[in-house]
Structure formats: C-alpha cells, structure tokens
Structure 1
Amino acid sequence: MSTTRRLSVGVLLLALAGCSKSTPQAAPESSASVAAPSSPDHAATLSAGTAAPAAQAHAEVGKPAPDFTLKDLDGKEHKLSALKGKTVVLEWFNPGCPFVKASHSKGSLKDTAAKQIKNGVVWLAINSGAPGKQGHGVEANREGVKTFAMSYPVLLDESGDVGQAYGATNTPHIMVVDSKGVLAYRGAIDNSPDGEGESPTGGKLVNYAEAALADLAAGRPVATPETKAYGCSVKYAAK
C-alpha cells in the first residue's frame, strides 16, 4: 500500500471515530412539519414527532419532494413549497462531524454553495440532530456558520421528521429539488469520501451537486440522479 493511500485510510478512520462523539446541549424550541407525498396528486401530512408510514419511508428521486416548514437559528420559518419556481439544494449538516468540517474547509462544500447562490439557487442546510447529540443546538450551529463562513441558513429538525422523510443518512447528504418541486438528485456532494477532495474515486474529482445543477440549468435530465452519501451518520433521536 502506498504512503498516500495509507494516509487517506488513516484520515478516514480518524474522521469516523470523531463522528461518534456527542455533545450534550440545551434544546432550543423548534417547529417542524413534513408533507410526504405518496403521489403528485395526494400528500399526507406529518406533524413533528409523527413517524412516516412504512410506504413513505423516504422521498424518491423523480417524484415530488416532501414539503416542510422548519425554523432557522433566528427562529424564522422556511417552507419548501414557498420556494417553488426556484432550484433548491438541501444540505444535511452537523457542525461537529469531521466530514462536514473537512468538506467545508478543504473540500467541495467550501465554495460550491456560494457560487450556486450567485446563480439563483436557494441553498439550505438542515440539522436533523436530536438534543444531546453531536452538533445539536443553536449556539453550536451558529459557531459552525461562523467557522465555515456560510451565507445560507441552517434549519433545525430536532424531531428528525424531515430528514427521515428525505432518507437523509449522512452528514453531509445533498438533495437537489428542481423548480417544479421534484427531487432531482440525492447523494454525496462529490466522489471523494475523505471529504477533502483529495482521494476521488477513479482519480478525478466529480462534484455531483454542481453537475446536477448544471444539468437542470441547461434543461437536461440529471445524468447522475443518485449516489451513495458518505460521512457521519445523521444523529437522529431514538425512536
């Protein structure tokens, strides 16, 4: 095994170890609701704390994205359906996750959002971590926003209903919703599972989120609509 390969494996092992740490913090008040559509013509509403039926375990690429209302760190509500007509990116976020830290400081998340926001894309981070879990709490997320110079809101999903509705499994996990409200992409930010962009699968870095957004902007179907996300597990509340 080459020295570079050994270092990459070591970085991944250290990052995975860091994912398991929890930091107990006071729970801020939050509000969340999810509408998980079973078809384009019918939507079943899920209130905060209500588990989705098994048949609606998570959204499907190519079908309407589940609607939701979540509050940001300042208590302002954001409703997905109010953004219809715009392309929206949802980034599952945990400021304590080593992979999030790597991607925001060195990897693809360092500047992708800023570039896409200039192009008219709406970018929203979502933290589905439960109280007492790693990266939970208003202050921890505010510190993350400051550290990573994020110009977009972080929405709090303490119940985990929104994350579960979308099938979010990792931080980071990226979802792209097109201007018609359809889930067009779900998966990793890129093909470099170290989070730093330095060990891309196949040797060439591919930013899946940027590629999906470019396809949508050009009026093309998304060439790679789904990939396997990497990173820390989403710190959901125990059900």
Structure 2
Amino acid sequence: MTLRHVLLLPLLLLACNKEAPAPAPEAKAPEGKTSAAAAAASDKPAAGAEIGKPAPDFTLTDYEGKTHHLADYRGKIVVLEWFNPECPFVKASHTKGSLKGYSKRAVEKGVVWLGINSGAPGKQGHGAERVAEGRKAFGMENPVLADETGKVGHLYGATNTPHMFVIDAQGTLVYRGAIDNSPDGEGESPKDGKLVNHVDAALEDLAAGKPVRTPDTRAYGCSVKYGS
C-alpha cells in the first residue's frame, strides 16, 4: 500500500460516516470508515446465511416498483451486492475499481445481479432519488432493491458497502465477502501485490464446475447504514 493510500483511507472512513439529511417523502417506489473496525466486517458468521447452505430466501421491491423473489431465480447464478450510492468505497469501486462495469458484464453471461440498499430513512445513501443518481453515475443497469428495515441485510449478515454474496444455480450460498483484495476500493493496493476479484474467481469456479476456492473473505468499505 502506497503512502497515498495510507493517507486516503482515514478520509474515506470519515466520508462513510456522514449521514444524509432525512429525505422528503417520495412518490415512486418503496424506498428502501467510522474506524478501521467499521471498514472491515466482523469474522462472526451470519446466523441466517452460511456458506454451503441454502441462501436465505427473501422478497424485496426495487426502486422502480418491481418485486424480486430470490426463489424465482433458482436455476441461475445470483450475485447480491450491498449498495450505498454515497459510500466513497462504493464510488471508488464503481468508477475505478473492480465493480466498474462488472455487473453488466456478468449479466451478459447470464448472471442475475441484484443490488440491495439496507440504509434506513435519514441515513447516508437512502432513498429512490439518491439510488437513481448513483446508478446513473456508475452506469449500473441491474436493479437495486430497497431494504430500509434492514431485515434482509441482517439476515445475510451484511456489514459493509460493498458486501458481496454469490449464490449458485441450486440456491446455495458459495461466496460472501469483499469484491476484491484491494481495501482502498480503487484496485490500487491489493494485498500480496496482485489484484484478485473474489466474485469473478467464484463465478469462474462455478462455470468450470469446481468448488469455489475462496468462499469467505472479510468485507471492507462503509458500514451498512441500518436503522438499528
């Protein structure tokens, strides 16, 4: 990690902590690092989401009003991306790092990619308007689902944005953790000197009919802005 990234990380953490003012009521669609500790997820396994077990089912509505039921995607590989359009790590990854254009490429290969915003009302990145602005800025075409109660986020043990989960065609959770091994979000400070996109590696293993070689990593980024 360069000196630039050492100096930049505290600023990103501070920006993650800034919460947006409470949004005005919106007519369309249901709406869904404070410290180094906040930048990385806890090692505690999520109670409802375990590697090698069926991924917890859920039903959520996206910001354009369409309902998504996870079970309806059985037979396809599904990637879940915990999303906060105002999180600086999300911005960095979608504009410079491993998430830049990645969801579109994955969808073109038949993957179902669902963003999930578990931010509560009044929190950073909450609301249809902010999500729409983020999707446009990042060139995202995949839907983003509103989870403003945080129920699904807590069910999966999502702690950071971005926090990634890969579900195979049989509905089994096969990967959870960081998008890559570069905790600056920009892909410029990979551990061991080589950038590894963990989600891409998991998808490659699934395509080859092999077990996912690295099924669990520690997520980095902003804390998910739960209401409680």
Do Structure 1 and Structure 2 share a fold, with TM-score over 0.5?
yes
Does residue 12 of structure 2 align to residue 22 of structure 1?
no
Question: Structure 2: how far apart are the matches of 1:82 and 1:26?
Answer: 33
Which residue identity is paired with 1:170? Answer: N
Larger relative contact order (Cα-Cα within 8 Å, sequence gap ≥ 6): 2
How far does the alpha carbon of each residue in 1:148-174 deviate from its partner, in whole angstroms, 9 at most, with x for none?
010100100000000100010000000
2:66 is matched with 76
Q: Give percent identity, aligned residues only.
A: 62
2:163 is matched with 173
1:49 is matched with none
Does residue 7 of structure 2 align to residue 10 of structure 1?
yes
Question: Structure 1: how far apart are the matches of 2:128 and 2:52?
Answer: 33
Question: Structure 2: how far apart are the matches of 1:228 and 1:129?
Answer: 20
2:108 is matched with 118
How far does the alpha carbon of each residue in 1:88-124 deviate from its partner, in whole angstroms, 9 at most, with x for none?
0000000010000000000000022121111100101
Root-mean-square deviation over aligned CA pairs: 1.6
Contact 2:16 2:223 in 1 (8 A): yes
Question: Structure 1: how far apart are the matches of 2:186 and 2:46?
Answer: 34
Question: Structure 1: how far apart are the matches of 2:193 and 2:139?
Answer: 29
Structure 2 unaligned regions, length at least 5: 33-44
What are the equivalent positions in structure 2 for 1:13-92 lying under 5 Å apart?
13-23=10-20, 24-26=22-24, 30=30, 57-92=47-82
Q: How far did residue 56 of structure 1 move?
A: 7.3
State TM-score, norm by structure 2: 0.90
Structure whose CA Rg is larger: 1
Structure 1 unaligned regions, length at least 5: 33-54
Q: How far did residue 57 of structure 1 move?
A: 3.0
How far does the alpha carbon of each residue in 1:167-226 deviate from its partner, in whole angstroms, 9 at most, with x for none?
100000000000000101000000000000000000000000000001011110000000
